[in-house]
């Protein structure tokens, strides 16, 4: 009798190998997802994304550096006797800024320069006191009688110098798309905080051009964004029918929102009394331009811009009511960051499956 060839084993082996490979691949994907979750969790925490800031003190107190205990805000007497000016590092329309020293620590002393603008100065102090948080520069003391404010010093200065800072050898490792996107997230987080602050909905009015916006924020040594200048921060109260106007002069240019521009054409001279007020959605209009600066032109930044295209298009809606809230923009930014980090951590996984 002729023996039949044994095809059974040969027939099933090719089917078993892909099954084993697929199982191993799925296990690897699950492992990578777990590792990615842990990485993102650590990533957010290391970059200060947790909402609670354990370095904050009760109202009227501060601490910074390695100091564990909170100290009361410095009084007029303490500022006059314990703070030593070193040099002038800036001057604006409202105040002059001095790099100073207090107990061998660098601090910033701001003093009113134009008495006609003392209300702006005092408003800025009021905002600074009320809005102390991880989003706002730390207040160390003040003296209303002498129109003086003492704040924490950040050696990297304002965001205007971001690109120059990222070209310094020490910080070149920070010049990546994800670090730049994190700075943009920090910026939008500040806007979100101001729009839902303990005082109500506040509008960042010192923002008529990109350079002016960047000058209002500080870059910390661990690469976070803090708002520093709160002199022009009016309150929107829709329930009371209260909207705002950023100053009493005509605003021009594409950077400011359409509702901030004179609506009656060139033939009608500008009059402040005829200028319609507006709300916080002016801040939303400006987000894409500020974020574009943050993203720069490093490898991967164009991919980030592509993922942010839809939300940025929504920010540029002519009708303010159609623009997203700062919270919606922030949520989208965070989703894009997570998505892109996941894709960078697991390239080609989708194609393998």
Express each pLDDT in 93-106 by its tens digit.
889 999 999 999 99
* 134 pLDDT above the threshold of 80: yes
* 40 pLDDT above the threshold of 60: no
Which whole-number Å values give the CA distances from 295 to 5, 13, 19, 173, 180, in the listed order? 67, 52, 43, 15, 5
Express each pLDDT in 186-244 by its tens digit.
999 999 999 999 999 999 999 999 999 999 999 999 999 999 999 999 999 988 889 99
Express each pLDDT in 254-287 by its tens digit.
999 999 999 999 999 999 999 999 999 999 999 9
Burial status of residue 59 (CB atoms within 10 A of its CB: 0-12, 13-18, 19 or more): exposed
Note the pTM of the prediction, 2 decimals. 0.84
Average pLDDT of span 37-53: 49
Per-residue confidence at 345, pLDDT binned at 50, 70, 90? Answer: confident
Domain with CATH 1.10.510.10 in the chain: 157-345
Helix axes 326-345, 177-195, angle to 10 degrees: 160
What's the CATH architecture for 71-152?
2-Layer Sandwich (3.30)
- Which of these, 142, 283, 160, lies nearest to 218 by C-alpha position? 160
Indicate the average pLDDT of the chain.
Answer: 88
Q: Which two tokens stand for residue 121?
A: 């100065």
Q: Which CATH class is domain 157-345?
A: mainly alpha
Other CB atoms within 10 Å distance of the CB of residue 177: 20
Per-residue confidence at 38, pLDDT binned at 50, 70, 90? Answer: low
Q: What percent of the chain has pLDDT over 70?
A: 82
Q: Which two tokens stand for residue 60?
A: 């009227």
Express each pLDDT in 150-198 by its tens digit.
999 999 999 999 999 999 999 999 999 999 999 999 999 999 999 999 9
Helix, strand, coil % over all residues of the chain, rounded to 5: 45, 15, 35
Helix axes 326-345, 8-46, angle to 10 degrees: 140
Other CB atoms within 10 Å distance of the CB of residue 2: 4
Look-up of token digits 């730390």:
138
Per-residue confidence at 10, pLDDT binned at 50, 70, 90? Answer: very low
Instruction: Return the pLDDT at 1.
Output: 52
Instruction: Return the pLDDT at 64.
Output: 79
Domain with CATH 3.30.200.20 in the chain: 71-152
Express each pLDDT in 12-32 by its tens digit.
444 454 666 666 666 665 565
Helix (H) or strand (E) holding 278: none
């Amino acid at each position: 009798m002729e023996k039949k060839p044994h095809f059974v084993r040969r027939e099933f082996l090719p089917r078993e190998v892909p099954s084993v490979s697929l199982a191993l691949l799925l296990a690897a994907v699950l492992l990578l997802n777990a590792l990615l979750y842990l990485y993102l969790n650590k990533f957010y925490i290391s970059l200060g994304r947790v909402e609670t800031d354990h370095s904050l003190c009760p109202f009227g107190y501060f601490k910074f550096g390695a100091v564990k205990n909170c100290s009361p805000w410095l009084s007029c007497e303490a500022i006059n006797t314990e703070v030593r000016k070193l040099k002038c590092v800036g001057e604006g329309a409202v105040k002059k800024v001095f790099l100073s020293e207090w107990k061998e620590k660098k601090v910033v002393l701001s003093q009113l320069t134009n008495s006609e603008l003392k209300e702006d100065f005092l408003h800025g102090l009021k905002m600074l006191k009320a809005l102390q948080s991880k989003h706002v520069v730390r207040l160390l003391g003040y003296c209303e009688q002498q129109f003086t404010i003492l704040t924490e010093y950040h050696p990297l200065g304002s965001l205007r110098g971001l690109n120059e800072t990222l070209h310094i050898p020490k910080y070149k490792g920070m010049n990546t798309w994800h670090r730049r996107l994190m700075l943009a997230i920090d910026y939008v987080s500040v806007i979100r905080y101001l729009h839902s602050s303990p005082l109500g909905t506040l509008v960042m009015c010192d923002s008529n051009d990109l350079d002016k916006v960047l000058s209002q924020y500080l870059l910390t040594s661990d690469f976070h964004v803090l708002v520093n200048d709160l002199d022009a921060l009016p309150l929107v109260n829709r329930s009371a029918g209260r909207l705002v106007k950023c100053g009493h002069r005509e605003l021009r240019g594409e950077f400011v929102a359409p509702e901030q521009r004179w609506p009656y054409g060139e033939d009608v001279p500008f009059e402040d009394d005829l200028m319609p007020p507006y709300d916080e959605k002016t801040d939303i209009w400006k987000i894409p331009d500020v974020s574009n600066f943050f993203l720069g032109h490093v490898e991967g930044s164009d991919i980030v811009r592509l993922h942010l295209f839809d939300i940025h298009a929504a920010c540029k809606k002519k009708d303010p009511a159609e623009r997203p809230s700062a919270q919606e923009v922030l949520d989208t930014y965070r989703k894009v960051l997570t998505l892109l980090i996941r894709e960078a951590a697991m390239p080609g996984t989708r194609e393998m499956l």
